[in-house]
């Protein structure tokens, strides 16, 4: 078995890669544990120097990495460059902050000394997706390594070129051999690695079904997991919002990364009073974006990453229309090479339709009507997912109240689109997963929070 990478803009094969054998994968898991026994005792200064070296290499090779991302998964080249920039920012952030985030915390008690330490666990297995091929990996690996863990990466097969370049990146930055390893393996070996006694923890970013399977296996082995899964982010537009700006932000939030982001704007819940005005502006924004060659500097929307993903999205759109939704624009598969799908808007979406109940992972937006704020919040929360959400209103205090206390999601934004930031915790609730990445909660996920008391 092997892996084939395909250019989504043409449908043509880029490269093929042989898969690792079971024996090779398990051998690397063992080596990861052996090097961990030494790596765990390196100082923060040494780790920070290596992580800063990663940042420098990312900046030096920015164009090469960006073009590889675009070739393998199809996002616009400008977005690929931005992904590399964000990875470099993440590296420098944790290089500076990790030591303070993991510093001993002393507590006054009846003991002569009592304090908490944060000790690394060991090799962390990561099952990562294709939609942000570098960012998703760096988001888990950098804090894990700064905490003293070692890393095993099982990346998505359609970005195998990126996976191997990331492996080389860590080598070139000067990390000791086997501190970071890329495993070109299929899903059939993930369970074996979870069971391997050398692997101490597992993190996955992907579908809810994949997360559930990994969590079940890790649970049987009593191993810590962090899961960042699907999302069907609700963007609420209230009657007092700046409608043109809200429509522009919703369109941008829906089409970012070719619509293939867990935190993309997916369910747009509009108060009836401003529905007509919103639709005029929103449809104008969506119609202005045409798909084009993602290697072109002015491209705003590239192809979907794989043909099967496009077929699934189209099925969801068509099933919703058959159930009573109204197709406003798009909703067809172009008759040309590549995995293109046009900006698509379906309105009159209600619970029970695929566009409401399921995650639309592509450039298709579901517009939902609410009578008032109360119903809008109820509709937003009426989902198995809880990753991100947003609310648009001119009353900032109203927006803060809704975002902070009423919306059921891990990240809630007011008057802007949801996005991740190294300085802020990121993750979801409900079937969007559990645990947090980024900021100080992210680096504390894969550590032993140890209490030490001295008489």
Do 109 and 258 lie in one domain? The reply is no
Residue 155 near residue 163 (C-beta atoms within 8 A):
yes
Do 248 and 220 lie in one domain? The reply is no
Q: Looking at residue 403, which CATH number applies to its domain? A: 3.40.309.10
Do 214 and 122 lie in one domain? The reply is yes
List the catalytic residues: 228, 262
What number of CA atoms fall less than 13 Å from residue 352's CA on the CB side? 6
**174 φ/ψ sector (left φ>0, alpha ψ -120 to 50, else beta):** left
**237 φ/ψ sector (left φ>0, alpha ψ -120 to 50, else beta):** beta
Do 156 and 15 lie in one domain? The reply is yes
Do 272 and 390 lie in one domain? The reply is yes
Read off the DSSP letter of residue 284: H
| 423 inside domain | no
| 53 inside domain | yes
Tokens of 124: 């962390």
Do 217 and 244 lie in one domain? The reply is no
Q: Say whether 245 sits in a helix, a strand or coil.
A: helix
Do 290 and 223 lie in one domain? The reply is no
Q: How far apart are CA 423 and CA 143, in angstroms?
A: 12
| 421 inside domain | no
Do 245 and 220 lie in one domain? The reply is no
Q: Report the number of distinct structural domains present in the chain.
A: 2
Q: Mention every residue, 6+ apart, whose C-beta is less than 8 A from residue 158.
A: 3, 4, 5, 6, 72, 73, 130, 305, 306
Q: Which phi and psi angles does 93 have, rounded to 5°?
A: -65, -50
Do 370 and 327 lie in one domain? The reply is yes
Tokens of 169: 């990146």
The boundaries of the domain holding residue 349 are 234-414
Q: How far apart are CA 153 and CA 184, in angstroms?
A: 8
Read off the DSSP letter of residue 439: H
Do 263 and 200 lie in one domain? The reply is no
Which strands sit side by side in the sheet containing 447-454, from one edge to the other?
105-106, 113-120, 447-454
The pTM assigned to this predicted structure is 0.97
Do 208 and 260 lie in one domain? The reply is no
Do 173 and 302 lie in one domain? The reply is no
User: In tens digits, what is the pLDDT along the chain, a chain of 455 residues?
Assistant: 799 999 999 999 999 999 999 999 999 999 999 999 999 999 999 999 999 999 999 999 999 999 999 999 999 999 999 999 999 999 999 999 999 999 999 999 999 999 999 999 999 999 999 999 999 999 999 999 999 999 999 999 999 999 999 999 999 999 999 999 999 999 999 999 999 999 999 999 999 999 999 999 999 999 999 999 999 999 999 999 999 999 999 999 999 999 999 999 999 999 999 999 999 999 999 999 999 999 999 999 999 999 999 999 999 999 999 999 999 999 999 999 999 999 999 999 999 999 999 999 999 999 999 999 999 999 999 999 999 999 999 999 999 999 999 999 999 999 999 999 999 999 999 999 999 999 999 999 999 999 999 99
Question: What pLDDT score does 1 carry?
Answer: 72
Q: How far apart are CA 15 and CA 124, in angstroms?
A: 28
Read off the DSSP letter of residue 238: -
| Chain Cα centroid distance, residue 318 | 27
| 282 inside domain | yes
Stated length of the chain: 455
Taking the CB of residue 305, how many other CB atoms lie within 10 A of it?
27
Q: How far apart are CA 299 and CA 159, in angstroms?
A: 21
Tokens of 385: 């997912």
Tokens of 261: 């982001």
Alpha helices in 205-291 (DSSP H): 208-220, 243-255, 275-287
């Amino acid at each position: 078995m092997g892996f084939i990478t395909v250019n989504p803009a043409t449908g043509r094969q880029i490269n093929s890669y042989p898969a690792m054998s079971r024996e090779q994968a398990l051998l690397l898991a063992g080596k990861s544990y052996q090097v961990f026994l030494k790596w765990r005792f390196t100082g923060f200064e040494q780790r920070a120097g290596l992580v800063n070296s990663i940042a420098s290499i990312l900046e030096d090779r920015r164009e090469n990495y960006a073009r590889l991302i675009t070739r393998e998964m199809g996002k616009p080249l400008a977005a690929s460059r931005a992904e590399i920039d964000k990875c470099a920012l993440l590296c420098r952030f944790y290089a500076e902050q990790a030591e303070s985030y993991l510093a001993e915390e002393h507590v006054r008690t009846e003991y002569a000394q009592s304090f908490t330490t944060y000790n690394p666990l060991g090799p962390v297995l990561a099952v990562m997706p294709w939609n942000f091929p570098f960012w998703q990996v760096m988001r888990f690996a950098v804090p894990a390594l700064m905490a003293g863990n070692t890393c095993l990466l099982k990346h998505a097969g359609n970005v195998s070129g990126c996976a191997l370049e990331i492996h080389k990146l860590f080598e070139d930055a000067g990390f000791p051999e086997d501190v970071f390893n890329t495993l070109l393996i299929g899903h059939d070996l993930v369970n074996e690695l979870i069971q391997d006694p050398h692997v101490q923890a597992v993190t996955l970013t992907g579908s809810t079904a994949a997360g559930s399977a990994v969590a079940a296996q890790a649970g049987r082995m009593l191993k810590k997991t962090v899961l960042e899964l699907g999302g069907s982010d609700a963007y609420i537009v209230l009657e007092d919002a700046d409608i043109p700006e809200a429509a522009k932000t919703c369109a941008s939030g829906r089409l970012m990364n070719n619509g293939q982001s867990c935190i993309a704007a997916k369910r747009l819940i509009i108060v009836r009073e401003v529905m007509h005005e919103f639709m005029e502006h929103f449809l104008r924004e969506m119609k202005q974006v045409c798909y084009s060659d993602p290697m072109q500097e002015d491209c705003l929307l590239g192809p979907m990453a794989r043909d099967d993903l496009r077929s699934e999205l189209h099925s969801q759109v068509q099933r919703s229309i058959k159930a009573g939704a109204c197709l406003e624009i798009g909703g067809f598969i172009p008759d040309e090479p590549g995995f293109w799908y046009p900006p698509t808007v379906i309105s009159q979406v209600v619970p029970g339709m695929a566009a409401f109940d399921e995650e639309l992972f592509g450039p298709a937006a579901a517009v939902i009507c609410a009578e008032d704020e109360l119903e809008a919040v109820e509709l937003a929360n009426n989902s198995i997912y809880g990753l991100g959400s947003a609310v648009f209103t001119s009353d900032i205090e109203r927006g803060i109240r809704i975002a902070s206390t009423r919306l059921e999601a891990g990240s809630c934004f007011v008057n802007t689109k949801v996005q991740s930031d190294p300085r802020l915790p990121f993750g979801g609730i409900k079937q969007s997963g559990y645990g947090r990445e980024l900021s100080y909660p992210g680096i504390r996920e894969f550590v032993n929070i140890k209490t030490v008391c001295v008489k």
